[in-house]
Structure formats: C-alpha cells, structure tokens
A = this chain, B = another copy of it.
Amino acid sequence: MQRIGFRLKLKADMLDKYVLLHQNVWPEMLEALTKTGWHNYSLFIDRSDASLIGYFETPDLQKALNGMAKLEVNDRWQAFMASYFVALEGQRPDEGFLQLENIFYLE
C-alpha cells in the first residue's frame, strides 16, 4: 500500500463553502474513489493559510489517478470544485495537486 499526502491551496473566502460541500460528497463520487483504489482517505484544512491537505492509501497511485481521470462523474466533480482553488494554472484540482514527500513511517 502506498501512503499518499498531497496539498492544495483553497481560496480563503470560499473555505467554509468547500467544507460544507464535503459533508455531502455525491455518493457516485465516493463509489468511484473506492472502486479506483482510494482508501482510508481523509481531507484536512489549515485555516491559517487555507491549505487543503489530503491523505489516502492506495495499491498504486498512478492507477488511482488514471482511474478517476477516466470517469465522467470525476469530470463533473472537478469542474464543480475548480473555482475553490488558487494557483492551479488551468489544471483540474486532481491534476494540480502537489504530492508531499513522505519522510517517515511507523506502522
């Protein structure tokens, strides 16, 4: 299992709305994530600079990303989310995420 950390920047004035939307992620989006290998997936925010930090576990990161990239429900979700992020430079949030460097692990 690969343990993945990533980080994105949210627009500070849209942070509350982003949090609210994540209390009710579309069931078909959740199903798609599970089917494409996104497990034990948490999102965290740091309000001090509107950072969004994600953690998940997957057998194969590239397959998890490619699997979601092919799905229509993901197109719709990412288009819906795109306006909440800064500095994506035309990329979708799932393409623009900065993968964090894993430096330590304790089982």
Interface residues of A (CB under 8 A from B): 3, 5, 7, 18-19, 22-23, 25, 30, 33-34, 38-48, 51, 53, 55-56, 98, 100-107
In the assembly, how many copies of this chain are there?
Answer: 2
Partner of A101, one of B40, B47, B98: B47
- On chain B, the residues within 8 Å of A23 by CB distance are 103-104
Q: How far is the CA of A39 from the CA of B105 in the complex (A)?
A: 10
Closest chain B residue, CB of each to CB of A57: B40
Main secondary structure of the interface of A (DSSP, over half): strand
Q: How far is the CA of A61 from the CA of B31 in the complex (A)?
A: 30
16 A-B pairs with C-beta separation under 8 A:
A5-B44, A19-B101, A19-B103, A22-B103, A25-B104, A30-B106, A34-B106, A38-B106, A42-B55, A42-B105, A43-B104, A44-B100, A45-B100, A45-B101, A47-B101, A56-B106
